[in-house]
Amino acid sequence: MGTFILEMENITKKFSGVTVLDNVEFRLKKGEVHVLIGENGAGKSTLMKILTGIYQKDKGRMRLAEEDGSMQTIEFHSPKDALDKGISMVFQEFNLMENMTIAENICIGAEPVNKAGILDRKAMNRHAEKYMKMAGLNVSPGKTVSSLTVAQKQCVEIAKCLSHHARILILDEPTSSLSEKEVANLFHLIEDLKKQGVSIVYISHRMEEIFKLGDRITVFRDGQYIDTLNVKDTSEKELVKLIIGREFDPSETYGQGRISGEMILEGKDLQIRKFKEKVNFQLYKGEILGIFGLVGAGRTELARILFGIDKTKEGNLYKNGKRLKISCPQDAIENGIGMVPEDRKQLGLITKMSIRDNLALAKLRDMPWVLKSHEREEKLTEQYGRLLSIVYQSSAQKAERLSGGNQQKVAIAKWLAMNLDVLILDEPTRGVDVGAKAEIYEIMRELTEKGMSIIMISSDLPEILRVSSRVLVMHDGGIRLNEKTENLDQEKIMHAAIS
């Protein structure tokens, strides 16, 4: 694994005069998993889009190994140029035709035809099955993509890449929406591809994945190349320092010990509609209550009941000892309960709208006329932008133009403007970089110090242990464990989640 298959040197790229890549370098060895890491906006995706022909570089040189091992200079003017050289990318947001079959997606642009020039579906299905098998996908090639799970769609994307005889496969945050079992399956697939000589560029923010899967790591920061390290020769603390450019202790805890005696929210015999068990829980003032469970355990369903999106079959919810009647989100908001959903782009924000307008949505009732509301919106944006350290160009900037971490901060800020007592955060750091994670954790700690209570749903075990004051573990719609964080470890939590 000592031979380079790809060399990128002095790559520079500007957009509207702004330098997003500044003389960066990247080298990939044959048959390795090379992790590309950095904060959102560091330039990782831009470099990979240059490699795959989506963008064209302004300066620099790219060289690719030929079959005989010699390095040849390459120039890509379109994604097809990259595909023809065996370079493919699976994006975080899949590029599939949902209303078409798996086989049609894999063979698109190269559909087999018979002598009469008519589409040969049998040959297409056989061709698709060959690469589906390589990608570990065991379903009918005639199945419509829209009927597949997220993990299966990802396998279709990988099969499509392999059908182009991929020598270099780029995976962008591939585990962000997968369950533990699906992640394990993906890792097995990656190991198989390595054995076949495929070189993999793996973009991820998850430290445990990086150290489990990676061979080497290249760090980018602010559009610049920082360093390349062997995974076995580095530590999480050293890596985080390179990523964010400052000292940061990844073992620091944020919520432990913060449990007061004042109960603010209590659920008694709540029953999620598709489950038989009943849920009883308490939330205390100023604590971060972590909720963990495997996919389908009922975590998000419980949050939806608390926020009034769904109704409980049985049971009651109490706030400060008073029984609540919550039949819709407006009822929850009026009772001081807010929720930042897991899918911030679809449910947490209106990404086509500006930062200012997103923050103002929660305060529309307080802004009765246009001129006055515009002034208040500007002040609101400035106030919470400063409070949460949101990085943006202007209040008129569309939310879709922000990094994942800054989008999440806007989603949180929207609720802070409502002066809530309880904030539900569903997967608050999913898809954000390590620097933004630390900032979000710090925001959560500051909010609880001011008396807010937080319910945090997370699939990230280290995050649950690091941030929570107390942990609830759910399984089949019921509570299997309710314990202070300092008394727990990953093994005990996971045992409760599967029992």
pLDDT digits (tens, 9 = 90+) for 342-351: 776 677 778 8
Are residue 67 and residue 22 in the same domain, yes or no? yes
Are residue 268 and residue 135 in the same domain, yes or no? no
Domain boundary among 244, 277, 292: 244
Q: Extract the residue ranges of the chain whose pLDDT is less than 70.
A: 1-2, 40, 177, 246-260, 344-345, 362-373, 499
Are residue 29 and residue 157 in the same domain, yes or no? yes
Number of C-beta neighbours around residue 35 at 10 A: 23
Q: What is the structure's pLDDT at 248?
A: 58
Are residue 212 and residue 281 in the same domain, yes or no? no
Full-model pTM: 0.65
Q: Is the residue at 258 inside a domain?
A: no
Are residue 217 and residue 286 in the same domain, yes or no? no
Q: Is the residue at 257 inside a domain?
A: no
Report how many domains make up the chain. 2
Are residue 199 and residue 132 in the same domain, yes or no? yes
Q: Is the residue at 255 inside a domain?
A: no
Q: Is the residue at 477 inside a domain?
A: yes
Are residue 107 and residue 186 in the same domain, yes or no? yes
Are residue 85 and residue 170 in the same domain, yes or no? yes
CATH at residue 371:
3.40.50.300
Q: Is the residue at 123 inside a domain?
A: yes
Residue 380 belongs to what domain range? 263-498
Q: Is the residue at 249 inside a domain?
A: no
Are residue 268 and residue 207 in the same domain, yes or no? no
Q: Is the residue at 229 inside a domain?
A: yes
Q: Is the residue at 437 inside a domain?
A: yes
Are residue 406 and residue 307 in the same domain, yes or no? yes
Q: What is the structure's pLDDT at 371?
A: 46
Are residue 379 and residue 275 in the same domain, yes or no? yes
Are residue 230 and residue 277 in the same domain, yes or no? no
Q: What is the structure's pLDDT at 368?
A: 52
